[in-house]
Amino acid sequence: MKTIFNSLGSNYSLKFAMQALFARNKKTSNDDLKAYLKKEFGGEVTLFYKARQAIEYAIDVCDFPKGSKVAVSGFTCAVVPKAIEHAGLSYIFIDVEPNDVNFQIASLGQMYTPDTKIRAVVVQNTFGFTQDIAPIEKFCKERGIVLIEDLAHSVGAVYPDGRKTGTVGDFVILSFSQDKLLDAVSGGALIVRNKHFSKIPEKKWSEISFVEQLRDRFYPSLTYKVRFMYAIGLGKIYHFILKKLHALSMPVYNLDKTDFKILPSWEAELALFRLKNLPEELVERRKKAEMYLENLILHPVVTKESISRASCLRIPVRIDDREDFIRFARKNSIHISDVWYDVPVSPKRYWNLFSKGFTLPEAINLSERIINFPTHLNMTKANIKKVIEVYKKWK
Ligand SMILES: Cc1ncc(COP(=O)(O)O)c(C=O)c1O
C-alpha cells in the first residue's frame, strides 16, 4: 500500500540515503559550499551544524546594546526565539495577519514604538510563501533596524516585488536540516551581506561527536526503511524501537545553549548537492502545489500567483476538526500529524516557555487549524491524487 508522510526523511531517495552513508570527509567541501553561497547571495559565509546557531551568531555579530529586542514571527519553531535568547537578547513575537501564514508590515508597525527597542527583524516566509518585503525593508532602513532573512523555508522563492529571497537582508540564514528544502540531515549557514557587520567575533567552536555524526549518516537510510516498513504494516513498531534506541536524529531535541559546532564536511557536500538540485526541485514542488490548488480549497495564502513565486515547502490547509482528519488520513496510510506549527511557537512541549506575555490571536487560531500537505520528492502525482481523494472523502 502507498504510504505518505509529511516528514520522516521524505526528502530522501534511496540513492541519497546511500550518498549520505558513503559521503567522504573531503577537506574542500566546506570551502566549495561557501564559495557557492557567496556567489549566490553575495557576502561573507560561515557554516554551522544547525541554522539556529547561524541566527545566534548573526545577533552576536550585531553587538546590540543590552536590552535590545529582535522581532520574529509569532508562528515559528522554538529554536528561532531560543537562538535570540542564547545571543543575550529578547524576542518580540509579531502575530501573523488574518488569512496569512506570515506577519506583514501592518503588524510589525503596530508592535513598534521607539521604546520597544526592536533592533532586528527576522522574516521567515513560512512554507516558502513570501512576505511583502519592500515595505518591511523600508521600515527597517528608516529606523536603522537590521533585517535578517531566514530562508529555512524559502530559499529559491521570489518576493512580490520580483526580488529573490536572500538578496534583500543584512543577513541571510540557510538551513540544511531535516525536512527543509535543502535537506542534508543537518547544517546551516550565515551570510553577512552588509559589509558594516563583517567583523566576526571570536567564539568557541567544537566538533560534532562521532555518535551524532553516525546518527546523521544513518538517518536517511533508517527513515527510508521505516517508511518501507509502514508499507508492509510493521512501521509503527520499527519506528518505536529506533526512537527508543535514540537511533534517529531529532530536529528539535533540546533548546540548551551549546558551543558553535562545525559542519562536518560530508554534510557540506550533501548540502551543495541539494543546492545544485534546488531549481529543478522547485519546479516540481510548484507543480505539486498547483495540483492541490486545482482540486481543493487551500489556505488563502496559496494562490496561483503565490505558488509561482513560492518555494512550496508545504501546502497549508485550514480545517476545523484537524485531529479527526489526521486519524482518517492515517487509516488511509497518510501520516501528516507532524503539523507545522501546532502551537504558535512549536513544538507543543515547549510552548509554555514562550506563551507568557504575548497575545497572538491569529497565530493561535492558525495553529489550531492548520494541516500541511507535502510536496517533497517522494510525492509522486499518484500520491498527491491520493491525498486529494482522501481529503475529499473525509470532507
Ligand atoms: C523558520 C525556521 N528557521 C530556522 C530553523 C532552524 O533550523 P535548524 O534546524 O537548521 O536549526 C527552523 C527549524 O525548524 C525553522 O522552522
Residue 45 main-chain phi, psi, to 5 deg: -110, 135
At residue 1 the predicted structure's pLDDT band, cuts being 50, 70 and 90, is low
Does any ligand 1 atom lie closer than 6 A to the CB of residue 84?
no
pLDDT of residue 276: 98
Q: If you take atom 16 of ligand 1, which residue's CA is the nearest one?
A: 77
DSSP annotation of 225 reads: H
77 CA to middle of ligand 1, Å?
A: 6
Number of residues assigned to the chain: 395
Considering only the C-alpha atoms of the chain, give the largest distance between any 2 of them, rounded to a whole number of Å: 60
Mean pLDDT of the chain: 96
Does any ligand 1 atom lie closer than 6 A to the CB of residue 80?
yes
* Spatial CA neighbour of 165 closest among 182, 177, 186: 182
Cα distance between the two ends of the chain: 22
pLDDT of residue 251: 85
Does any ligand 1 atom lie closer than 6 A to the CB of residue 76?
yes
* Spatial CA neighbour of 50 closest among 17, 71, 78, 15: 78
Q: Grid coordinates representing 172?
A: 541571510
152 CA to middle of ligand 1, Å?
A: 6
288 CA to middle of ligand 1, Å?
A: 23
Q: Grid coordinates representing 253?
A: 531535541
At residue 103 the predicted structure's pLDDT band, cuts being 50, 70 and 90, is very high
What angle (nearest 5°) sits at the alpha carbon of residue 51, between those of residues 47 and 55? 95
pLDDT in tens, 283-300: 999 999 999 999 999 999
Q: Grid coordinates representing 372?
A: 500541511
Average pLDDT over every residue of 348-375: 95
pLDDT in tens, 253-287: 789 999 999 999 999 999 999 999 999 999 999 99
Pocket test for ligand 1, best of 7, 47, 49, 52 (most atoms within 8 A of CB): 52
296 CA to middle of ligand 1, Å?
A: 28
7 CA to middle of ligand 1, Å?
A: 14
Average pLDDT over every residue of 330-336: 96
Q: Which atom of ligand 1 is the closest one to the Cα of 153?
A: 1
At residue 252 the predicted structure's pLDDT band, cuts being 50, 70 and 90, is confident
In the chain, domain spans: 22-206
pLDDT in tens, 4-33: 999 999 999 999 999 999 999 998 999 999
**Is residue 387 pLDDT above 90, yes or no?**
yes
pLDDT in tens, 127-155: 999 999 999 999 999 999 999 999 999 99
41 CA to middle of ligand 1, Å?
A: 19
pLDDT in tens, 177-226: 999 999 999 999 999 999 999 777 778 899 999 999 999 999 999 999 99
Pocket test for ligand 1, best of 6, 57, 73, 77 (most atoms within 8 A of CB): 77
Cα radius of gyration rounded to whole Å, the chain? 20
What angle (nearest 5°) sits at the alpha carbon of residue 186, between those of residues 157 and 171? 45
Does any ligand 1 atom lie closer than 6 A to the CB of residue 77?
yes
Global pTM reads 0.97
Q: Please, what CATH class does the domain formed by 22-206 belong to?
A: alpha beta
Does any ligand 1 atom lie closer than 6 A to the CB of residue 249?
no
What angle (nearest 5°) sits at the alpha carbon of residue 20, between those of residues 14 and 26? 145
